[in-house]
Chains A and B, each alone.
Chain A
Amino acid sequence: MTVVIDNLSKPSPVQRNGPESASERARRRGDAGKSLYKPRTPIYPKLVHGRWRRIKWALLIVMLAIYYVTPWIRWPRPAGLPQQAVLVDFDGGRFYVFGLQLWPQEVYFITGLLVMAALALFLVTALFGRLWCGYACPQTVWTDLYIYVERLFEGDRNARMRLDAAAWSFGKLWRKAGKHLVWLGVAFGTGGAWIFYFRDAPTLLREFWTGAAPATSYVSCALLTATTYVFAGHMREQVCTYMCPWPRIQGAMLDPHSLQVTYRYDRGEPRGAHKKGADWTGRGDCIDCHACVVACPMGIDIRNGPQMECINCGLCIDACDEIMVRVGRPRALIAFDTDAAVAERAVGRPPRYRLVRARTAFYALALTVVSGLMLWGLATRQMLDLHALRDRNPTFVRLHDGSIRNAYTLKIANKTFAPQRVTIRFRGVPGAQVRAAGEAADGPVTAVVPANQVLALRVLVTAPPDRLTAPSLPATFDVRGLGLDAAARTVFLSEAP
């Protein structure tokens, strides 16, 4: 069923009385042809209380805790290896995540993780709207934290507006200075925590304060301090609206059946001021109090319908619910709802919610397939890895007795934390003999691959010419260690007919 959203039944944002949202104010001042550039309209989000605000606080604490605590978790590994649970070790060329250690050539696991993250984002957005933007994105989390600090120093919305409008005084000065100092402190903490993911955290902490840390640590810390302070303190909603591509992409993820923060205009309109005790018949539940508008950290009016700026944080739901309870009307005039449901209610039909749709089913399926591939990849991950690089110039040589020799460089990666003694065999070419370069005679090739390292081994394979049946014969190198083995396919070249 196709649901046509009737925009005409919605209130037009252009001709409307009462206070405007920040974006409307900006539009009126800047977009109306006075200037080529749009002035920034300050947004003073009012503190709300309610279910979504509590969830947002809880997630803020969880997200920040994950970010700050993770590098300090220790994980036992053999001596000489990092003891840090999560570490991107650029110097050693390894990525450690608890019991898993990834090598640079296994970057496809990271790719897979990113693909999973993207698909999960698509799925969640198609189902529930931009929950990522509203609750989990670092920009949201840190902005929320910065607004909390701002409120500590300057008070809530009205106090902040008064303070900004007031002339400079000692009171204004210390409040502003205090706020910026704490902001900078938080920003420094953010940048400071970031670098611990890339070097042993306790060591780096000591090095950092004694000036012994590498320059990249100081530069990274300074960069993240600056971006945190600028983005979370000053840019805020501008980052989401102008710098982030996600608000534009979301249009392709959402459909009329996606749950998102929605003003139920079918119930709310016609809106208007309401005197206590007055009759509710013939009018909507919206009393036009602007509680939703002043609570919005993005400075929009949710009653104008879904908008690109909306991050789906649900703070307007809390704000509206508080008012609805006070005026004695049911909650959820603004709620997580679908456009389709609102449209159906508007024409008197019972709303239907469809979580399973072709779109969500496809995202879920794709997510399941990629997750399955990842799990399968991790479960069958080879701890011994072999690559055979054939000499390409010359591709083969003829020896004194006419036999044909190909040379290969074997790269044997030992991903375990113990040295591995391995035996190398060559299969696929009749009569072929293998030897390690530098050995005087053919024979079994054995080598010891050091723990957690790659051994490059040059081997020479010689075959009698009369048993070569094709100029290029498929062949296989086998490497066998104690309970571990690996194989690599290659070819044996000659000038056989």
Chain B
Amino acid sequence: MSNRELDQHSGAETTGHEWDGIKELDTPLPRWWLWAFYGCIAWAVVYWVLMPAWPGIHGYTHGLLGKSDRAALSGELEHLNQARGAQLVQLRNASLEQIEADPKLLDYAMQVGQSVFGDNCATCHGAGGGGGKGYPNLRDDVWLWGGSLEEIQKTITVGVRAGNPHARPAVLMPAFGRDLMLKPDQIDDLTEYVVALSHRNADPAAVGRARQTFAYQCSACHGPVGTGDQSRGIPNLTDADWLYGSSREAIHDQIWNGHAGAMPTWEARLSPETIKALAVYVHANAGGDAAPARRTHPDTAAADAGK
């Protein structure tokens, strides 16, 4: 060490490394830095004694302070449940309308609803409730089974075609083509008729031919002017919402194959309070309308009334 080169200007030693004539000074660390380093080592030893530190074959060293993140977490969860208990009781005792009217309770219900929706409903209805083909959009104003708070709660509770004894009567759309109930050209005409029902341009001749078929085969469920029936989950054919698609091909396919969706009954899996929160969540996200009327196109409504 003593034969190291000294820098002429500063008088300090150099490390001997040189880059393009620039030499690196071997500036020593201050002594207190060394003591800070020893201090850190001592701190580590104290830490081993006080805190969980070393893994063993059967478990690990627990440390004198007995700190455990796992225990702390379960304690926190317990604390959270206790804190939530009061709100759960509120949720149980309040009516759905009261929940929606009370900002604090609504906020709680929305949070519970969001969490439960994400875990259980989003698989089919989408994370935001936007739905998809065959899975109803829960954000719009069209409801197969009714869009009031009570109706939504009922639908979640009993499900759709899930065999719940309290379920509302559900019917199945027949597969008119697959089961040879109608001839292919009849189904073609019927497709035009359904297109016309939703106030779109259709072939008048085909519509005229299908009038009788619709009256015999469809009107029993969908109604004489095709407005459906929410008490039995029957879709309104006159609005702009199409569960299986609005194109002629999609409508034809639906008449031919008669798709019918199903939803599990949630009664057994979710507590009544949770279902209440979920109903409020779905209702509020769809616009939170206090009394959603049965949605019908104005023209159809007139025809319906004049019948």
Q: Is the CB of A401 within 8 A of B11?
A: no
- Of B71-79, B204-212, B284-292, which binds chain A? B284-292
Q: Judge whether B142 and A394 touch: CB under 8 Å.
A: no
For the complex, give the distance between the alpha carbons of A30 and B28 in Å: 8
Given known A394-B129, A400-B295, contact A37–B30 (CB-CB < 8 A): yes
Give complex CA distance A14, B13 in Å. 13
Q: Is A19 an interface residue (CB 8 A)?
A: no
Within 8 A of A (CB), among B119-152: 126-131, 137, 139-142
Asked whether A400 lies within 8 Å of B28 as measured between CB atoms, the reply is no
CB distance from B194 to the nearest CB of A (A): 16
Q: Is A444 an interface residue (CB 8 A)?
A: no
A400-B240, A400-B297 as given contacts; A238 in contact with B129, CB under 8 Å = no
Q: Chain A contact residues (Cβ within 8 angstroms of B): what range?
A: 35 or more
Which of B2-10, B44-52, B88-96, B181-189 lies at the binding interface?
Answer: B2-10
Q: Give per-residue flags for A3-44: 1 if the beta carbon is below 8 A from chain B beta carbons, else 0.
A: 000010000111000000000100110111101111110000
Tell me if A467 counts as interface (CB < 8 A to partner B).
Answer: no
Cβ A393 vs Cβ B141 within 8 A: no
B65 at the interface (CB under 8 A from A): no
Asked if B12 contacts A33 (CB within 8 A), the reply is: no
* A235–B127 CA distance with the chains assembled, in angstroms: 58
Give the docked Cα–Cα distance between A39 and B236 (Å). 90
Contacts of A28 in B (CB 8 A): 11
Decide yes or no whether B31 CB sits under 8 A from chain A.
yes
Asked if A438 contacts B33 (CB within 8 A), the reply is no
Say whether B11 contacts A37, CB under 8 Å.
Answer: no
Return chain A residues, CB-CB under 8 Å to B100: 438
Interface of A is mostly: loop
Interface size on B, residues (CB 8 A): 44
Asked if A40 and B12 sit within 8 Å, CB to CB, the answer is no
> Which residues on the B side are within 8 Å of A439 (C-beta)?
289-290
Q: Is the CB of B12 within 8 A of A394?
A: no
State A24–B287 Cα separation when bound (angstroms). Answer: 78
Please determine whether B241 and A400 come into contact, CB atoms closer than 8 angstroms.
Answer: yes
Are A394 and B137 in touch, CB under 8 angstroms? yes
Mark out the residues of chain B between 6 and 44 whose CB falls within 8 Å of any chain A CB in the assembled complex: 8-13, 26-34
Check if B284 sits within 8 Å of A438, measured CB to CB: yes
By a CB distance below 8 angstroms, the chain B residues around A24 are 11
Nearest CB to that of B1 among chain A residues? Answer: A33
In the complex the two chains form, is B287's CB within 8 Å of A438's CB?
Answer: yes
Expressed in whole angstroms, the Cα–Cα distance for A398 and B28 within the complex equals: 73
B2 touches A33 (CB 8 A): yes
Residues of A close to B230: CB separation below 8 A: none
Determine if B27 and A40 form an interchain contact, defined as CB atoms under 8 angstroms apart.
no
Contacting residues, chain B, for A437 (C-beta < 8 A)? 284, 287-288
Verify B140–A238 contact, CB threshold 8 A: no
- Is A106 close to B, CB under 8 A? no
B295 lies within 8 A of A35 (CB): no
State which of A30, A37, A399, A438 has its C-beta within 8 Å of the C-beta of B140: A399
Complex CA gap A31/B137 in Å reads: 77
Complex Cα–Cα for A242 and B27 (A): 11
Once the chains are docked, how many angstroms separate the CA of A437 from the CA of B26?
Answer: 71
Q: Does B229 contact A (CB under 8 A)?
A: no
Contact check, A401 vs B290: say whether CB atoms are below 8 A apart: no
Which interface residue of A27, A31, A242, A407 has the most chain B CB atoms within 10 A?
Answer: A31
B28 and A38 contacting across the interface, CB-CB below 8 Å? yes
Q: Which of A14, A394, A440 has the most CB of B within 10 A?
A: A394
Q: Does A402 contact B (CB under 8 A)?
A: yes
* B273 within 8 Å of A (CB atoms): no
Are the C-beta atoms of A38 and B29 separated by less than 8 Å?
Answer: yes
Establish whether residues B31 and A400, one from each chain, have CB atoms under 8 Å apart when the complex forms.
no
Q: Assess whether A303 is interfacial by the CB under 8 Å rule.
A: no
For residue B296, CB closer than 8 A to chain A, the reply is: yes
Q: Provide the main secondary structure of the chain B interface.
A: loop
Q: Are A14 and B141 in contact (CB under 8 A)?
A: no
List CB contacts (< 8 Å) of A25-81 with chain B. Answer: 27-28, 30-33, 35-40
Within 8 A of B (CB), among A219-261: 235, 238, 242
Q: Is A405 an interface residue, CB under 8 A from the partner?
A: yes
Say whether, besides A37-B29, A393-B130, A405-B140, A398 and B240 are in contact (CB < 8 Å).
yes
Q: Does residue A460 face the partner (Cβ distance < 8 Å to B)?
A: yes
Q: Does B267 contact A (CB under 8 A)?
A: no
CA distance in complex: A33, B28 (Å): 9
Residues of B within 8 A of A275 (CB): none
A326 near B: Cβ within 8 Å? Answer: no
B27→A31 contact, CB < 8 A: yes
Residue of B nearest to A31 (CB): B12
CA distance A238 to B33 in the complex (A): 10
Query: Is A397 in the interface zone, CB < 8 Å from B?
Result: yes
Least distance between A222 CB and chain B CB atoms (Å): 17
Cβ-closest chain A residue relative to B141: A399
A381 at the interface (CB under 8 A from B): no
Per-residue interface assignment for chain B, residues 270 to 299, with 1 indicating a CB less than 8 Å from any chain A CB and 0 otherwise = 000000000000001001111100011110
Determine how close the nearest CB of chain A comes to the CB of B304; give it in whole angstroms: 14
A37's partner among B1, B34, B239 (CB-CB below 8 A) is B34
> Which residues of B lie under 8 Å from residue A7 when comparing CB positions?
9
Q: How far is the CA of A440 from the CA of B295 in the complex (A)?
A: 13
- Find chain B residues with CB under 8 A from A32 CB: 13
Q: Which residues of B contact A394 (CB under 8 A)?
A: 126, 128-131, 137, 139
Distance, CA A235 to CA B290, complexed state (A): 70
A401 and B239 form a contact (CB under 8 A)? yes
Q: Are B291 and A440 in contact (CB under 8 A)?
A: yes
User: A30: nearest residue on chain B (CB-CB)?
Assistant: B28
For A89, what are the chain B residues with a Cβ–Cβ distance below 8 Å? none
Residues of A within 8 A of B27 (CB): 31, 38
Within 8 A of B (CB), among A392-421: 392-394, 397-402, 405, 407
Give the CA-CA distance A460 to B4 in the complex, in Å. Answer: 79
A31 CB, min distance to chain B CBs, angstroms: 5
* Residues in B neighbouring A440, C-beta threshold 8 A: 289-291
Task: Answer whether A33 and B4 are a contact pair too, CB < 8 Å, given A38-B30, A40-B31.
Answer: yes
Complex CA distance for A39 and B30, rounded to whole angstroms = 6
Q: Which residue of B lies closest to A402 (CB)?
A: B240
Sample of 8 A–B contacts (CB below 8 Å): A13-B10, A28-B11, A30-B28, A31-B27, A37-B29, A400-B141, A437-B287, A440-B289
Interface contacts beyond A36-B28, A405-B141: sample of 17 additional A-B pairs, CB < 8 Å, sorted by A: A12-B8, A13-B10, A31-B13, A32-B13, A33-B13, A40-B32, A394-B126, A394-B131, A400-B239, A400-B295, A400-B296, A401-B298, A402-B240, A405-B140, A405-B287, A438-B289, A438-B290
